[in-house]
Amino acid sequence: MVDAHAVVDGFLPSNQALPFTNDFPRQPVLKIMIPGIGRVAIGDASRGLCGGMVYTTRDLFEAKLLPPAVKEPPSPGSPLYRYIVRRLFDSFDIPRGVARFYRLMATPDADTARSSLTLRGAGRITVVNEWPQVRLDLDRGVLSPLGVITLRSYDPFQLGHNHQVLAYAYEQRQTAVTLRVYDPNTPLDRADAVTLSFDVVRPSGPVPITHNLAIGGRPVRAFFRTGYRWTNPLPAITAG
C-alpha cells in the first residue's frame, strides 16, 4: 500500500526532457577573453553538462515549450549550446552551490561523535534536511533539481565526478521512498524508468541509496535540492 505519492502533472523525460544525452565531445565548455592574453578555454564539455541540461529542461517545461527537435548534442557556439552552458554555471550557484557539493562530498556517510557533539552525516543531511524540501516541491507539482554526490573525497578536483538530475515524482511506502528522476546521461528510450530509492527510518546513517543512474557504476551517497531560478529559454530554441 502506498502511503504517499506525487507526480508533476504532464512531465515525463521521454516527452519533455532534452532529446539527446549528456555526451559532448572533448571541447572547452566556454572561452573567455582576458585582456593582454586573448581567448582562454575553460572546462571540458566531455566531462558533462548535466546541470545545464537539467535546468534547461525545467525552464522549457515551466515555459510550456516543447524540447527542440534535435537528436544530437548541439554544436559549440550554437544558441542552444550556449544556453545549456549558461544554465550549467547557474546550477553551480557559485560559490554557495559548489560549497554544498564539496561539503557533502567530504562528509562521512553516518553521524559521527566528536567530544559532546554529534556531527551530521551525509545520510541525515539527505533524508532530514533535503528530502522534505524535494517532497514539498513534488507535492506542489514543481520539478525539483538535485545535486547528486557520488564519492567521498576532500579533493576539490574530484567535484566533477558528482552529478545532477531532476526529480518529477515520488512514492513512499511507510519509510521507503522511491524518487523518479530525469537523468541527462540516460537515453530517452530508458529515461522514464530511472529512480533513486532510500529509507528514512535510520537517519543517523549510513543511508544506502539504490539507483540506476548512468554514472559508470558509481554509488549515490547523498543528494541535495539545488537553488534553481527560472530563465526564459525561448531565444535559445528559436534562434536560427
Q: What angle do CA 63, 181, 78 make, to 5 degrees?
A: 50
Q: Say which residue, 118 or 91, is predicted with more confidence.
A: 91
Return the axis-axis angle of helices 79-92 and 96-106, rounded to nearest 10°. Answer: 60
CB 124 within 8 A of CB 104: no
What whole-number distance in Å separates Cα of residue 66 and Cα of residue 84?
A: 16
The model carries a pTM of 0.91
**pLDDT over threshold 50, residue 134:** yes
β-pairing verdict for 4-7 and 163-173 = antiparallel
Residue whose cell numbers read 530517452: 188
**pLDDT over threshold 70, residue 2:** no
The pLDDT confidence band at residue 39, using thresholds 50, 70 and 90, is very low
For residue 181, what are the CA distances in angstroms to 14, 82, 190?
A: 11, 24, 12
Taking only the tens place, the pLDDT of each residue in 177-192 is 999 999 999 999 999 9
